[in-house]
A and B are shown apart, each in its own frame.
Chain A
Amino acid sequence: MTKLTVGIVDYGVGNHNSVHHTLNYLGLRCRVSDDHMILKTCDLLLLPGVGAFRPAMQALEGKGLDRFLAEQVARQKPILGICLGMQLLGKSSSENGRTVGLGLIPGDVVPLGIGCWHIGWNTATLLKADPLFELAHNWDFYFNHSYAYQAMDEFVVCTTSFGDKRFASVVRAGKVAGIQFHPEKSQRAGHALLRSVVEGLCDA
């Protein structure tokens, strides 16, 4: 297989270093850019994200990246969102008031509870056969969030339980996928999964 190039969508929020280093470590090439022309040449677009939904969405819109990503999906470009990047794939979020998202996978982002943070290592449970994500089943990954994706069942690949709650930890619609946890910070299970997902989405 020729070396795949991952385009890390740089919309000026959060830190890309960890995911960039990890992808390089896995033998994947990376471009970090907000330039549509550069991102178009990449095999997969990765939407990272740390922080709040609204400023992230505003930053994407400010750079015309919301429309660009929708166009790329229509052209069958694989897209992977991580953490806030996953949540941005949804139709909307209620974090600090309602904000419209990219709407690439049906679902809304809602709070886990008042004053409720899900921080640390928790288990992913695979709900349906998906070769890209099957090695996530029953492994622990690192989470750090207080809002979660409420997707329609047909798009939920993995769930995770937290207290009496269960939320979507992996969602997928064709070539677009989102991961709520941080595979780049989840040691060997995270690295193995990231490789499987990037290569699998490009092959799908």
Chain B
Amino acid sequence: MLKKRFVGVITVRNGWVVQSFGYRRYLPIGHPAVVAENLDRWGVDEILVLAIDRSAKGLGPDVELLNALGTLSLSTPVTYGGGIRTVEQASMVVQAGAERVCVDTALHGDPGALREISLHIGSQALVASLPLGMESGEMQWYNHVTKTQRAANGALARIFEDGLISEALVIDWQHEGTRNGFELDLLRRFPVTGVPLIAFGGLSETAQIDEALRMPQLVAVGVGNFLNYAEHSVQRYKERLSTGVLRRPEYQGLTI
């Protein structure tokens, strides 16, 4: 059986891992390599690196960061997002060692570029990052560069209609960094059926994560800074979660 994934999210700003609150307040945590090494050692199912300032600053992807992670010989699949707008940039990210590529700002721009990226690296390697929120009962899609939002319904359907993107990362951007803050309606009312969803932003308590994992459309949950304060936090989460849909916790050093 294909397992649902427990994803460790590393949010990077100015080259440093930060705890991000609602896309506006940031607390420094440490060096990305240290956090990535911990997640790898704790047997997280996937590492998602989000370099959140690259697009707004027009910097392109953080290849230096990916190269630094490359030297760690991580044995966990890595997905990278941040600053990718062109096929050349996406290709550079894959060359630098990421299995998959996450685009966010590029989704608001030229659909031709998105198609080109997908055809080049494959749709299985392309994830759409979607900061979403509920406003007066309607789902809104946030653009963090222009700091504007628009109705999600029609716009999201267009992104997924060609099968160019394999998964959607649903970010509750307003509740990011808030304990138990994730708005489950973003998953329940996601306007496009059939698109596998990854939930992230304020997921911290096991009851809520369990509830998300029970939804058929959900394939992965992302937990960020809540993993940084205890040794073996990934395994502890997995042991406390009651759903049998995840891969069993992995402890390094045990022989097979």
A residues engaging B (CB < 8 A)? 14-15, 17-18, 21-22, 24-25, 50-52, 114-115, 117-123, 135, 139-140, 142-146, 161-163, 182, 184-192
B254: chain A residues at CB < 8 Å are: 188
Instruction: Indicate if the CB atoms of B75 and A188 lie closer than 8 Å.
Output: yes
Instruction: Indicate if the CB atoms of B247 and A121 lie closer than 8 Å.
Output: yes
Instruction: Indicate if the CB atoms of B2 and A120 lie closer than 8 Å.
Output: yes
The 9 sampled A-B contact pairs (Cβ below 8 Å) are A18-B74, A18-B97, A50-B99, A117-B166, A117-B167, A119-B166, A185-B76, A189-B256, A190-B75
| Interface residues of chain B: helix, strand, loop or mixed (majority) | loop
Contact for A144 among B76, B95, B124, CB less than 8 A: B124
B4: chain A residues at CB < 8 Å are: 120
Min distance, Cβ A134 to any Cβ of chain B, angstroms: 11
Instruction: Indicate if the CB atoms of A15 and B75 lie closer than 8 Å.
Output: no
Min distance, Cβ B255 to any Cβ of chain A, angstroms: 8
B252: chain A residues at CB < 8 Å are: 188
Say yes or no: A117-B124 contact (C-beta < 8 A), given A144-B100, A162-B2.
Answer: yes
**Beyond known contacts A52-B119, A187-B76, A188-B252: 11 more, CB 8 A cutoff:** A18-B74, A50-B99, A50-B121, A115-B194, A117-B166, A121-B2, A145-B124, A146-B124, A162-B2, A163-B2, A190-B75
**Total interface residues in chain B, CB < 8 Å:** 42
A25: chain B residues at CB < 8 Å are: 73
A117: chain B residues at CB < 8 Å are: 123-124, 166-167, 196
Instruction: Indicate if the CB atoms of A188 and B166 lie closer than 8 Å.
Output: no
Contact for A140 among B46, B125, B166, B247, CB less than 8 A: B247
A187: chain B residues at CB < 8 Å are: 40, 43, 75-76, 250
Bound form: Cα–Cα A114–B163 in Å: 9
B3: chain A residues at CB < 8 Å are: 120-122, 140
A146: chain B residues at CB < 8 Å are: 122-124, 166
Q: Which 3 A-B pairs have the closest CB atoms?
A: A21-B73, A117-B166, A185-B77
- Nearest CB in chain A to that of B93: its residue: A15
Contact for B2 among A15, A114, A118, A182, CB less than 8 A: A118
Min distance, Cβ B246 to any Cβ of chain A, angstroms: 9
B248: chain A residues at CB < 8 Å are: 140
Contact with A along B108-146 (1 / 0, CB 8 A): 000000000001111111000000000000000000000
Min distance, Cβ B244 to any Cβ of chain A, angstroms: 13
Bound form: Cα–Cα A185–B73 in Å: 9
Bound form: Cα–Cα A162–B219 in Å: 13
- Nearest CB in chain A to that of B94: its residue: A15
Min distance, Cβ B76 to any Cβ of chain A, angstroms: 6
B121: chain A residues at CB < 8 Å are: 50-51
B230: chain A residues at CB < 8 Å are: none
Bound form: Cα–Cα A2–B222 in Å: 44
Say yes or no: A191-B196 contact (C-beta < 8 A), given A15-B94, A51-B122.
Answer: no
Bound form: Cα–Cα A1–B50 in Å: 43
B52 part of interface (Cβ distance < 8 Å): no
Instruction: Indicate if the CB atoms of B99 and A185 lie closer than 8 Å.
Output: yes
Min distance, Cβ A156 to any Cβ of chain B, angstroms: 19
Bound form: Cα–Cα A122–B45 in Å: 11
